[in-house]
Amino acid sequence: MKTLRLLLGDQLNPQHSWFQTVREDVVYVMAEMRQETDYAPHHIQKVVAFFAAMRHFAKERIADGHRVRYYELTDPENPQTLPELIKQMLGEEGCESFEYLLPDEYRLDQQLKTLCQDLEIPARSYDTEHFYTTREALAVHFEGKKQLVMESFYRMMRKKHGILYKDGAPTGGTWNYDAQNRKKWKGSPAIPVVTQPHQEDLGPILRQIQESGIRTIGQIDLQNFHWTITTGEARALLAEFCERLLPYFGDYQDAMHTDEKNLFHSRLSFAMNCKLISPREVVETVETYYYNHPDTIHISQAEGFIRQILGWREYMRGIYWKEMPAYARGNYLENKNPLPAFYWTGQTQMNCLKQAITQSLEDAHAHHIQRLMITGNFALLTQVDPDAVDQWYLGIYADAIEWVQLPNTRGMSQFADGGIVGTKPYVSSANYIRKMSNYCEACVYNPDHKTGESACPFNALYWNFLDAKKDQLRANPRMGMMYRLLEKKDKSEMDALKERAAAIIANPDAF
């Protein structure tokens, strides 16, 4: 019986058991579809990177002896939608069964379930064999518990998989070194120049995208294209990260600086999220490197990195599958304002936002603190509709796939889930930004001023937000101190803060 197997663009796992045996009765299908490029505007680098990775993956499987039918974007036989693609392929190949890997996006999961119900042949789904956990693992872990605290999940994962965990205790005697991961980078230690992954000419892919009229955002420079599109490139990047960046990663993982966009971050997220390299391989490689280099790698550096993958990444996926589809509609704080236009251009006088947004437009990347405490912070303080925030984050970052983007954005960043992910809203005044970056030094606004034309907009927005959302947040135990400070402010000061905030919210593009 001949079988058709579907591979989506983020299912490029060369280690999957499907590819360990070449079968003459199996044909794989992959396609670059308008269905996926058009449901949201994506960064041009994101689209190019996915198509390049998919084409390489298909060529590698063909070289291994597998039969792969691949539809490029401009192929006249490409139906451009998933249901039509499968129906067309089943007819052309005369397949009597259909198999697919479980999608990591709810939209595609539902689409494939509906498709399979309509097919008149057997259909079956398989695990992608990528994550440490199943879709349901987080829900099972927290069954009967009121709060889904990430630290609890993270410790369970460390114990279960024996990562930085020996003789019944966490390596180093402490589970979490987050308190040591908040240093401001002031120009030293020097940040090594990481080798750009080798790329062939990606011009043909770019031209196909442009000639097809696909709406994209951001910029692209094919001479400096830094996304890894093969497993070999990802492994080389991982090795270089361990040797050159890991010694300081933990210390400066929350830092931001105008002269260094990436600091000590690995830039492995795209390769991981399209499954070119597994989280298990990344975590175990970093763990082994730490154990083999005790004189140069402190436990806080390795733990800080591993926590992001073994803990946070798996936690985000678990939240997504536990809470969808209602999660995508959450708007606990009832925010309705539009996203400022400068999020699409970077043209703002606020230097922190200019830096983070311009970097995102140029590189399709910004690290987690830039996303959370700069762009996300401002969107929340100006009470932007979380639907608009979601669309921006999903489109602008090359590593953004909904399973990881949505709970990070709507949950951690915008508190639209009412506290499922974050125990409090992650908002701050200018003080945090000044503490963790040099952005304030070259800004036209003064981080010490709260009102007046020279005052940093984050200051008035912060106190205005606390006042505006007091009905929803005042009872939050982690917000108690801030609300006590809010209550001590006299009416004239609050009136001035609220007036300043109202002007910013009414016309954020003027600031």
Residue carrying the six token digits 């990195």: 305
Confidence of residue 180 (pLDDT cuts 50, 70, 90): confident
In the predicted model, is pLDDT for residue 197 greater than 90? no
- The secondary structure of 307-368, three-state, reads HHHHHHHHHHHHHHHHHCCHHHHCCCCCCCECCCHHHHCCCCCCHHHHHHHHHHHHHCCCCH
Same fold, 3-126 and 137-323: no
Strands 68-71, 97-101: pairing is unpaired
Q: For residue 5, what pLDDT is reported?
A: 98
441-444 long-range Cβ contacts below 8 angstroms, 24+ apart: 442/258, 442/351, 443/349, 443/350, 443/351, 443/352, 444/349, 444/351
In the predicted model, is pLDDT for residue 198 greater than 80? no
Q: Which of 129, 23, 104 is nearest to 68 (CA)?
A: 23
Confidence of residue 253 (pLDDT cuts 50, 70, 90): very high
Q: What is the pLDDT of residues 364-409, one digit of tens each?
A: 999 999 999 999 999 999 999 999 999 999 999 999 999 999 999 9
Q: For residue 454, what pLDDT is reported?
A: 95
| Alpha-carbon distance values, 206 to 69, 327, 392, 481 (Å) | 21, 35, 22, 52
Q: For residue 179, what pLDDT is reported?
A: 85
User: What average pLDDT does the structure give for the chain?
Assistant: 96
Confidence of residue 319 (pLDDT cuts 50, 70, 90): very high
Q: For residue 269, what pLDDT is reported?
A: 97
CA 186 to chain centre: 26
In the predicted model, is pLDDT for residue 196 greater than 90? no
Strand (E) or helix (H) holding 6: strand 3-6
Strand (E) or helix (H) holding 471: helix 470-473
Q: What is the pLDDT of residues 128-140, one digit of tens each?
A: 999 999 999 999 9
Distance in angstroms (rounded) separating the CA atoms of residues 90 and 357: 44
Q: CA-based diameter of the chain, in Å?
A: 79
Q: For residue 182, what pLDDT is reported?
A: 87
One-letter amino acid identity for 117? Q
Looking at the DSSP bridge assignments, the partners of residue 71 are: 31
What pTM does this model have?
A: 0.95
Q: For residue 199, what pLDDT is reported?
A: 73
| Alpha-carbon distance values, 148 to 153, 195, 312 (Å) | 8, 39, 12
Distance in angstroms (rounded) separating the CA atoms of residues 330 and 334: 9
Count other Cβ atoms within 10 Å, centred on residue 96. Answer: 13
Fold type of domain 3-126: Rossmann fold (3.40.50)
Distance in angstroms (rounded) separating the CA atoms of residues 379 and 356: 13
Q: What is the pLDDT of residues 331-375, one digit of tens each?
A: 999 999 999 999 999 999 999 999 999 999 999 999 999 999 999
Out of 5-9, 228-232, 381-385, 479-483, least confident range: 479-483
Q: Which of 367, 213, 384 is nearest to 304 (CA)?
A: 367
Q: Which of 46, 9, 52, 8 is nearest to 233 (CA)?
A: 52
Q: For residue 377, what pLDDT is reported?
A: 98
Torsion angle defined by CA atoms of residues 451, 452, 457 and 462, in that order, rounded to the nearest 10 degrees: 10
Distance in angstroms (rounded) separating the CA atoms of residues 107 and 123: 18
Q: For residue 169, what pLDDT is reported?
A: 95
Asked if 379 and 389 touch (Cβ cutoff 8 Å), the reply is yes
Strands 216-217, 68-71: pairing is unpaired
Helix (H, G, I), strand (E, B) or coil at 210: helix
Cβ contacts of 158 within 8 Å, gap of 6 or more = 164, 165, 170, 175, 310
Q: For residue 158, what pLDDT is reported?
A: 97
Fold type of domain 137-323: 1.25.40
Q: Which of 262, 257, 220, 224 is nearest to 361 (CA)?
A: 220
In the predicted model, is pLDDT for residue 53 greater than 90? yes
| Domain ranges across the chain | 3-126, 137-323, 341-510
Q: What is the pLDDT of residues 135-169, one digit of tens each?
A: 999 999 999 998 899 999 999 999 999 999 999 99
Main-chain dihedrals φ then ψ at residue 400, nearest 5 degrees: -80, 110
Report domain 341-510's class. Answer: mainly alpha
